[in-house]
Chains A and B, each alone.
Chain A
Amino acid sequence: MTVPVVHGAPGNAVARVRWAVADGWTITLRDLAHWARKPAQVVVGLLFPVMIVLMFGYLFGGGMAIPGGGDYREFLMPGMFAMTMVFGIETTFTAVSTDITRGVTDRFRSMPMAPSAVVTGRATADMLNSVVGLAVMMACGLAVGWRWHHGLGAALAAAGLLLLLRFALLWAGVCLALVIRSPEAVMAVQILVWPLGFLSNVFASPATMPGWLGTLVEWNPLSATVSAARELFGNPGFGGDSWAAQHATLMAVAWPLLALAVFFPLSVRLYHRLSR
C-alpha cells in the first residue's frame, strides 16, 4: 500500500489562499454531488415556490387589487423571486446544522484543510443553488405571463439585488445553525421566516393595509428588495409614502449590506467558538 506523503501547510500567503479556494471548491462539489445523488429532492425544492405562484396567481389572485392597476401575476412574480431567496435560509440552516450534529464539522476541523473552506464552500454551493432556483422561478414567471419591460440590463440588476438578499440571509442561516446546532429546529427557523415573508409587499400592496401595518411592511428588508425588483423589471406595484418605500433601491442594497455586516463577522466568531 502506498502511503501518501503530504508536506506541512504552505508557508506563503498566496499558496494559502490557493488552498483555501481549492478546499472550498471541494466542499462545494460535495454539495453538487448531492444534487446528482438526490435529483428528486432538488426538483421538489425547486417546484415548491412554483406551486405557491400557481396558488396565489390563480386561486387567490382574482381577488387581489393592485393600486394603480396592473396584472396581479406581474405584481406577484418579483415578490415570489424574493420569497425563494428567503426560503434558502432553511437550506443553509439544515446543511450546516446536520454537519455539526453528525460530527462532520469536527472531522473537517481536525483535518489539515483551510478552516474557512467549510463555510465558503457551503456559501458557494448555496448561491449556485439559489441561482438555479431563481432561473426556474423566472421561467415559471414567463410561463404565467410575467415579463420584464426595461431591458435585459435592468432585469439582471434586479436578479443581482435578489441574490444579494440571499447572500446576506445565508450568513444569518449559518449563525442560526451554529447557535441552535440541531437540524430538527428547522421548524423553528420556518416560524421565523414566515413573518418576514408575509409581513411584506410580496402578496399585497402596503397601500391596502392599515396605516401602521403598511409602514411596518414598507420597512421590511424583503419589501425593499421586492419594490426595487418591481421597479427594475417594470412590473406594477412599487411606490409608497414612507421614506423606505420611496428609496427602495437604496434600501434593497443597504439592508442586505447591513445584515452582512452583522451576520458575517458573527458567523466567523461563532465558528471559532466551537473550539471553546
Chain B
Amino acid sequence: MGSTGHAIIAEGLRKRYGGTEALAGFDLAVPEGTVCGLLGPNGAGKTTAVRVLTTLLRPDAGRAEVAGLDVVRQPARARYRIGLVGQHAALDEVLSGRQNLVMFGRLHHLGLARARVRADELLERFGLADAGDRPVERYSGGMRRRLDLAAGLILAPPVLFLDEPTTGLDPRGRNEVWEAVGSLVASGTTVLLTTQYLEEADRLAARICVVDAGRVIAEGTPGELKAAIGGDRIDIVLREAARLPAAAEILARAAGTEADRDPDTRRVSARVSDRVAALTEVVRALDEAGIAAEDIALRRPTLDEVFLRLTGHDARPATSTPEVAA
C-alpha cells in the first residue's frame, strides 16, 4: 500500500455536471485498516466521490489514490484492490446467489473450481448457505444486501467502498448488514462508507467526514463531532407553568449554558456537554426545590441539527420549505 499508511487519499477532486459542482475540492485521507464514514445529505457529493475512487468516473481535476494506486492513471490495476457495494443491490435477479458469486468470481479471473469454492465460502460467511440455490428475486432486502457485500469481497480486497449500504432496508436488514460490516472491519479491511444516517456512521465508523456541497466540511471521531456541535439536549416539561423561571435557573446551572423557556408547553430546554452528570444534577436539584416534572428527556442531536449547526442549512433540502438564509 501507499508509503503514507493511507489506504485512500483524495486531493482537490473536482467534478462538474452542467452548472452544478458535484465535487468542489474534495480532500480525504483514510488510514489503512480503519472505517471512515462519509456523512451528508442527498446531493452532497458522497456518491460522486465514491464513483471517482472506484474508477467509475474520471474527475475534472485533482488526484486520488486507492491502495497505493492512482485511480485515474492505473484504473485496471486499482480494480484488483477494491470492492464496491453500490446503492442498489447490483445482482442478477434471475440467477441464484451461488450463480451470481461464481459469475463474479469468473470475472475476477478465478478458475471455475476456485470460483465455486470461493462462492461457497462467501455464502457460508454471510449466512446465505441455505439460500444459495434460490434465485435472488426471492431474497429479502437484507439477504440481497449481504449477497451484494459478498460479491464485493471475491478477492478479499484491501479497500471496500460501501455506498449507503442500508438505504431502503428495514431495521432487521440493517442490523444484518451492520454485523457483516463489523466482522469485515475486524479482519483489517479499510472501509469507506457513505450514509445519511448519523446512527449508522456512529455505529460503524471510527472517523466521520461530514460532506456538504462537494467538499468535506468537518472531520473527527463521532464523539468529537458531537462535542463540536454542542452535544445532547435536556428537555424538561413541568407540571406547573409558574415554576418555569426556577426550573430554567436550575437547568442553566447544571448545563452551564442558558436554558430556553417555552411557557405554552411548560418546557425548558438546554444543550449539555456532559449529559449524564447534567441529568443527575438536574433531577437532584428539581427534587430539592420541590419542582414537579411531568417529563424529563435526554435526547441526542438529530442529523438535521448536526447539519444546521455545521452548514447553516437543513439536511434534507427537498422536504424543507424554501427559505432565504439569514
Binding site for B on A (CB under 8 A): 1-4, 6, 8-9, 19, 22-23, 26-27, 29-30, 33-34, 37-38, 101-104, 106-113, 117, 274-276
Contacts and interface: CB of A to CB of B under 8 A. Distances in A.
Contacts, number: 102
B94 A107 contact: no
A138 B192 CA distance: 55
Given A37-B94, A110-B54, A6 B88 contact: no
Interface in B100-117: 103-110, 114, 117
Given A110-B54, A111-B79, A3 B156 contact: yes
Contact of B86 (A2, A26, A103): A103
B82 interface: yes
B155 A106 contact: no
B108 A6 contact: yes
Contacts of A104: 90-92
21 contacts: A1-B121, A2-B117, A6-B108, A6-B110, A6-B155, A22-B109, A23-B106, A23-B107, A29-B103, A34-B95, A37-B135, A102-B89, A103-B88, A103-B89, A106-B51, A106-B84, A107-B104, A108-B107, A110-B55, A113-B108, A276-B57
Contact of A30 (B103, B125, B151, B156): B103
A30 B56 contact: no
A213 to B, nearest CB: 43
Contact of B77 (A3, A8, A109): A8
A79 B146 CA distance: 49
Nearest to A118: B107
B118 interface: yes
A4 B105 CA distance: 10
Interface residues of B, number: 41
A107 B80 contact: no
B76 interface: yes
A37 B138 CA distance: 13
Given A33-B99, A38-B94, A110-B54, 4 more contacts: A37-B95, A102-B93, A109-B55, A110-B79
Contacts of B76: 8-9, 112
B273 interface: no
